[in-house]
A and B are shown apart, each in its own frame.
Chain A
Amino acid sequence: MQNETEKKLSFWEAYFKKEWSYTAGGVMLVILAVSLVVVTGKAWGVTGPFAVWGGKLFELFGVSAESLNFWAEGIATYDFFKDIVSMTDLGIVLGALLAVLLAASFKIKKMKSWRQVVAAVLGGVLMGIGARLALGCNIGSLFSALPAFSLHGWAFLLFFFLGAAVGSQMLKRYFM
Protein backbone atom coordinates (compact mmCIF):
# COMPACT_ATOMS: atom_id res chain seq x y z
CA MET A 1 0.00 0.00 0.00
CA GLN A 2 1.34 3.39 -0.95
CA ASN A 3 1.26 6.32 1.36
CA GLU A 4 -0.40 9.39 0.00
CA THR A 5 1.98 12.04 1.18
CA GLU A 6 5.13 10.13 0.33
CA LYS A 7 3.83 8.74 -2.94
CA LYS A 8 5.32 10.37 -6.00
CA LEU A 9 3.00 10.63 -8.95
CA SER A 10 4.14 9.47 -12.36
CA PHE A 11 3.60 11.78 -15.34
CA TRP A 12 0.54 9.78 -16.37
CA GLU A 13 -0.93 9.80 -12.87
CA ALA A 14 -0.40 13.55 -12.55
CA TYR A 15 -1.89 14.53 -15.91
CA PHE A 16 -4.41 11.83 -16.72
CA LYS A 17 -5.51 10.30 -13.45
CA LYS A 18 -5.29 12.57 -10.43
CA GLU A 19 -8.61 14.30 -9.75
CA TRP A 20 -8.72 18.06 -10.24
CA SER A 21 -9.87 20.24 -7.39
CA TYR A 22 -13.55 21.21 -7.44
CA THR A 23 -12.59 24.85 -7.91
CA ALA A 24 -10.32 24.07 -10.86
CA GLY A 25 -13.22 22.15 -12.41
CA GLY A 26 -15.61 25.06 -11.83
CA VAL A 27 -13.22 27.59 -13.38
CA MET A 28 -12.68 25.32 -16.39
CA LEU A 29 -16.47 24.97 -16.87
CA VAL A 30 -16.82 28.77 -16.83
CA ILE A 31 -14.07 29.16 -19.44
CA LEU A 32 -15.73 26.59 -21.71
CA ALA A 33 -19.24 28.01 -21.18
CA VAL A 34 -18.06 31.55 -21.93
CA SER A 35 -16.24 30.48 -25.10
CA LEU A 36 -19.43 28.70 -26.20
CA VAL A 37 -21.62 31.77 -25.64
CA VAL A 38 -19.11 34.08 -27.34
CA VAL A 39 -18.76 31.92 -30.46
CA THR A 40 -22.37 30.76 -30.87
CA GLY A 41 -24.29 33.51 -29.06
CA LYS A 42 -26.21 30.80 -27.15
CA ALA A 43 -25.66 29.85 -23.53
CA TRP A 44 -24.80 26.30 -22.47
CA GLY A 45 -27.79 24.06 -21.85
CA VAL A 46 -28.34 20.32 -21.45
CA THR A 47 -31.98 19.24 -21.30
CA GLY A 48 -33.57 21.35 -24.07
CA PRO A 49 -33.57 18.63 -26.75
CA PHE A 50 -34.46 15.72 -24.44
CA ALA A 51 -38.19 15.95 -25.15
CA VAL A 52 -37.53 15.95 -28.89
CA TRP A 53 -35.35 12.84 -28.57
CA GLY A 54 -38.26 11.12 -26.85
CA GLY A 55 -40.59 12.40 -29.55
CA LYS A 56 -38.33 10.94 -32.25
CA LEU A 57 -38.76 7.53 -30.64
CA PHE A 58 -42.55 7.87 -30.84
CA GLU A 59 -42.18 9.04 -34.43
CA LEU A 60 -40.45 5.75 -35.22
CA PHE A 61 -43.59 4.00 -34.07
CA GLY A 62 -45.69 6.04 -36.46
CA VAL A 63 -46.92 8.97 -34.36
CA SER A 64 -46.97 12.12 -36.48
CA ALA A 65 -44.71 15.10 -35.73
CA GLU A 66 -47.71 17.49 -35.58
CA SER A 67 -49.46 15.54 -32.85
CA LEU A 68 -46.18 15.20 -30.96
CA ASN A 69 -45.41 18.91 -30.94
CA PHE A 70 -47.44 19.45 -27.76
CA TRP A 71 -45.13 16.95 -26.00
CA ALA A 72 -41.93 17.68 -27.87
CA GLU A 73 -41.80 21.22 -29.16
CA GLY A 74 -39.84 21.87 -32.33
CA ILE A 75 -39.71 18.21 -33.32
CA ALA A 76 -40.61 18.90 -36.95
CA THR A 77 -37.63 21.19 -37.57
CA TYR A 78 -35.11 19.40 -35.34
CA ASP A 79 -31.67 18.70 -36.77
CA PHE A 80 -28.98 17.21 -34.51
CA PHE A 81 -26.06 19.05 -36.10
CA LYS A 82 -27.91 22.38 -36.01
CA ASP A 83 -28.78 22.04 -32.34
CA ILE A 84 -25.90 23.25 -30.17
CA VAL A 85 -27.21 21.62 -27.00
CA SER A 86 -27.56 18.19 -28.66
CA MET A 87 -23.96 18.36 -29.79
CA THR A 88 -22.54 19.43 -26.43
CA ASP A 89 -24.61 16.68 -24.75
CA LEU A 90 -22.98 14.08 -26.97
CA GLY A 91 -19.67 15.72 -26.12
CA ILE A 92 -20.29 15.41 -22.37
CA VAL A 93 -20.86 11.64 -22.62
CA LEU A 94 -17.83 11.15 -24.88
CA GLY A 95 -15.64 13.51 -22.83
CA ALA A 96 -16.40 11.68 -19.59
CA LEU A 97 -15.78 8.33 -21.27
CA LEU A 98 -12.49 9.68 -22.61
CA ALA A 99 -11.45 10.90 -19.17
CA VAL A 100 -12.07 7.56 -17.41
CA LEU A 101 -10.44 5.54 -20.19
CA LEU A 102 -7.30 7.68 -20.20
CA ALA A 103 -7.22 7.26 -16.42
CA ALA A 104 -7.65 3.48 -16.89
CA SER A 105 -10.62 3.51 -14.51
CA PHE A 106 -13.46 2.50 -16.82
CA LYS A 107 -15.81 -0.23 -15.70
CA ILE A 108 -19.45 -0.89 -16.52
CA LYS A 109 -21.31 -0.66 -13.23
CA LYS A 110 -24.53 -2.59 -13.01
CA MET A 111 -27.29 -1.78 -10.62
CA LYS A 112 -27.17 -3.56 -7.32
CA SER A 113 -30.79 -3.61 -6.20
CA TRP A 114 -34.36 -2.96 -7.26
CA ARG A 115 -34.29 0.15 -5.13
CA GLN A 116 -31.79 1.67 -7.51
CA VAL A 117 -34.05 0.85 -10.45
CA VAL A 118 -36.99 2.57 -8.78
CA ALA A 119 -34.76 5.51 -7.80
CA ALA A 120 -33.49 5.97 -11.35
CA VAL A 121 -36.98 5.75 -12.89
CA LEU A 122 -38.63 8.08 -10.38
CA GLY A 123 -35.68 10.49 -10.25
CA GLY A 124 -35.43 10.61 -14.04
CA VAL A 125 -39.13 11.41 -14.52
CA LEU A 126 -39.07 14.09 -11.82
CA MET A 127 -35.98 15.73 -13.32
CA GLY A 128 -37.56 15.69 -16.77
CA ILE A 129 -40.78 17.34 -15.60
CA GLY A 130 -38.89 19.78 -13.37
CA ALA A 131 -36.42 20.85 -16.02
CA ARG A 132 -39.15 21.63 -18.53
CA LEU A 133 -41.32 23.56 -16.05
CA ALA A 134 -38.33 25.63 -14.94
CA LEU A 135 -37.32 26.18 -18.58
CA GLY A 136 -33.98 24.51 -17.93
CA CYS A 137 -31.96 22.26 -15.67
CA ASN A 138 -29.05 22.93 -13.35
CA ILE A 139 -27.18 24.25 -16.38
CA GLY A 140 -29.78 26.17 -18.41
CA SER A 141 -31.69 27.62 -15.46
CA LEU A 142 -28.79 27.90 -13.03
CA PHE A 143 -25.26 27.88 -14.46
CA SER A 144 -26.25 29.89 -17.57
CA ALA A 145 -29.01 31.91 -15.87
CA LEU A 146 -27.90 33.07 -12.44
CA PRO A 147 -24.65 34.64 -13.75
CA ALA A 148 -26.73 36.37 -16.44
CA PHE A 149 -28.39 38.38 -13.63
CA SER A 150 -31.71 36.65 -14.22
CA LEU A 151 -33.92 36.29 -11.17
CA HIS A 152 -35.22 32.92 -12.36
CA GLY A 153 -31.70 31.54 -11.89
CA TRP A 154 -31.78 32.53 -8.23
CA ALA A 155 -35.29 31.11 -7.81
CA PHE A 156 -34.18 27.84 -9.40
CA LEU A 157 -31.20 27.66 -7.01
CA LEU A 158 -33.46 28.14 -3.98
CA PHE A 159 -36.05 25.57 -5.01
CA PHE A 160 -33.43 23.08 -6.20
CA PHE A 161 -31.96 23.34 -2.69
CA LEU A 162 -35.37 22.76 -1.05
CA GLY A 163 -36.08 19.84 -3.38
CA ALA A 164 -32.65 18.36 -2.64
CA ALA A 165 -33.38 18.54 1.10
CA VAL A 166 -36.64 16.62 0.62
CA GLY A 167 -34.93 14.21 -1.79
CA SER A 168 -32.21 13.50 0.77
CA GLN A 169 -34.79 12.48 3.35
CA MET A 170 -36.52 10.22 0.81
CA LEU A 171 -33.16 8.73 -0.14
CA LYS A 172 -32.31 7.97 3.49
CA ARG A 173 -35.69 6.47 4.20
CA TYR A 174 -36.49 4.48 1.08
CA PHE A 175 -33.45 4.09 -1.13
CA MET A 176 -30.58 3.24 1.23
Chain B
Amino acid sequence: MAERTLDCLGEACPVPLVKTQKALEEMAVGDVLIVNIDHSCAMKNIPDWARSVGHGVEIEEVGEGEWDIIIQKMK
Protein backbone atom coordinates (compact mmCIF):
# COMPACT_ATOMS: atom_id res chain seq x y z
CA MET B 1 0.00 0.00 0.00
CA ALA B 2 1.61 3.17 -1.17
CA GLU B 3 1.38 6.54 0.48
CA ARG B 4 1.81 9.81 -1.33
CA THR B 5 1.85 13.44 -0.22
CA LEU B 6 0.57 16.27 -2.39
CA ASP B 7 1.68 19.77 -1.44
CA CYS B 8 -1.02 22.30 -2.28
CA LEU B 9 -0.02 24.93 0.27
CA GLY B 10 -0.54 28.40 -1.12
CA GLU B 11 -2.75 27.17 -3.95
CA ALA B 12 -6.18 28.72 -4.41
CA CYS B 13 -9.34 26.93 -5.49
CA PRO B 14 -9.83 24.96 -7.71
CA VAL B 15 -6.15 23.98 -8.06
CA PRO B 16 -6.00 21.66 -5.00
CA LEU B 17 -9.07 19.69 -6.08
CA VAL B 18 -7.89 19.37 -9.69
CA LYS B 19 -4.45 18.16 -8.52
CA THR B 20 -6.05 15.73 -6.06
CA GLN B 21 -8.23 14.23 -8.77
CA LYS B 22 -5.23 13.85 -11.08
CA ALA B 23 -3.08 12.26 -8.36
CA LEU B 24 -5.75 9.76 -7.36
CA GLU B 25 -6.21 8.70 -10.96
CA GLU B 26 -2.58 7.56 -11.05
CA MET B 27 -2.85 5.63 -7.78
CA ALA B 28 -3.97 2.09 -7.04
CA VAL B 29 -6.96 1.02 -4.96
CA GLY B 30 -6.04 1.02 -1.27
CA ASP B 31 -3.32 3.68 -1.66
CA VAL B 32 -3.40 6.72 0.58
CA LEU B 33 -3.04 10.32 -0.58
CA ILE B 34 -2.29 13.10 1.88
CA VAL B 35 -3.10 16.57 0.57
CA ASN B 36 -1.61 19.57 2.40
CA ILE B 37 -3.80 22.64 1.97
CA ASP B 38 -4.26 26.09 3.44
CA HIS B 39 -7.23 27.28 1.38
CA SER B 40 -10.37 27.15 3.47
CA CYS B 41 -12.63 26.28 0.53
CA ALA B 42 -10.50 23.27 -0.39
CA MET B 43 -10.98 21.79 3.08
CA LYS B 44 -14.62 21.47 2.13
CA ASN B 45 -14.68 20.76 -1.60
CA ILE B 46 -11.94 18.08 -1.61
CA PRO B 47 -13.59 15.93 1.12
CA ASP B 48 -17.04 16.51 -0.40
CA TRP B 49 -15.84 15.33 -3.80
CA ALA B 50 -13.87 12.36 -2.43
CA ARG B 51 -16.86 11.17 -0.42
CA SER B 52 -19.20 11.52 -3.40
CA VAL B 53 -16.90 9.29 -5.43
CA GLY B 54 -16.73 6.79 -2.57
CA HIS B 55 -13.19 7.22 -1.21
CA GLY B 56 -12.36 7.17 2.50
CA VAL B 57 -11.67 10.67 3.83
CA GLU B 58 -10.31 12.22 6.99
CA ILE B 59 -9.58 15.87 7.71
CA GLU B 60 -7.02 17.05 10.21
CA GLU B 61 -6.33 20.67 11.09
CA VAL B 62 -2.59 20.72 11.62
CA GLY B 63 -2.27 24.41 12.42
CA GLU B 64 -4.42 27.51 12.13
CA GLY B 65 -5.83 27.61 8.63
CA GLU B 66 -3.82 24.57 7.52
CA TRP B 67 -5.23 21.14 6.95
CA ASP B 68 -4.20 17.64 5.87
CA ILE B 69 -6.82 15.78 3.91
CA ILE B 70 -6.17 12.07 4.04
CA ILE B 71 -7.83 10.11 1.26
CA GLN B 72 -7.81 6.37 0.79
CA LYS B 73 -8.60 5.34 -2.75
CA MET B 74 -11.48 2.87 -2.63
CA LYS B 75 -12.15 2.20 -6.27
**What would be 15 A-B contacts, judged by CB atoms less than 8 Å apart?**
A1-B58, A2-B60, A19-B43, A100-B65, A104-B64, A105-B64, A105-B65, A106-B64, A106-B65, A107-B38, A109-B39, A112-B10, A171-B15, A172-B18, A175-B15
Beta-carbon contact of B57 and A4 below 8 Å: yes
**In the complex where A3-B58, A4-B59, A176-B15 touch, is A110 in contact with B65 (Cβ < 8 A)?**
no
Q: Which residues of A contact B (CB under 8 A)?
A: 1-4, 19, 100, 104-107, 109-113, 116, 168, 171-172, 175-176
In the assembled complex, which residues on chain B have CB atoms less than 8 Å from the CB atom of A172?
18
Beta-carbon contact of B10 and A110 below 8 Å: yes
Q: How close is A24's CB to chain B, nearest CB, in angstroms?
A: 13
Closest 4 CB pairs of A and B: A112-B10, A107-B65, A105-B65, A107-B64
In the assembled complex, which residues on chain B have CB atoms less than 8 Å from the CB atom of A104?
64
B3 contacts chain A at the CB level, 8 A cutoff: no
Interface centre among A2, A4, A104, A168 (most CB of B within 10 A): A4
Beta-carbon contact of A112 and B11 below 8 Å: yes
In the assembled complex, which residues on chain A have CB atoms less than 8 Å from the CB atom of B19?
176
Q: Mostly helix, strand, loop or mixed at chain B's interface?
A: mixed
Beta-carbon contact of B12 and A116 below 8 Å: yes
Q: How far is the CA of A1 from the CA of B58 in the complex (A)?
A: 9
Q: How close is A119's CB to chain B, nearest CB, in angstroms?
A: 8
Q: How close is B14's CB to chain A, nearest CB, in angstroms?
A: 8
In the assembled complex, which residues on chain B have CB atoms less than 8 Å from the CB atom of A109?
10, 38-39, 65
Q: How close is A102's CB to chain B, nearest CB, in angstroms?
A: 12
Q: Mark B1-25, 1 if CB is under 8 A from A, else 0.
A: 0000000011110110011000000
Q: How close is A118's CB to chain B, nearest CB, in angstroms?
A: 13
Beta-carbon contact of A4 and B18 below 8 Å: no
Beta-carbon contact of A176 and B18 below 8 Å: yes
Q: How far is the CA of A100 from the CA of B43 in the complex (A)?
A: 13
Q: How far is the CA of A147 from the CA of B15 in the complex (A)?
A: 31
Q: How close is A173's CB to chain B, nearest CB, in angstroms?
A: 12
Beta-carbon contact of B58 and A111 below 8 Å: no
Q: How far is the CA of A103 from the CA of B39 in the complex (A)?
A: 14
Beta-carbon contact of A105 and B61 below 8 Å: yes
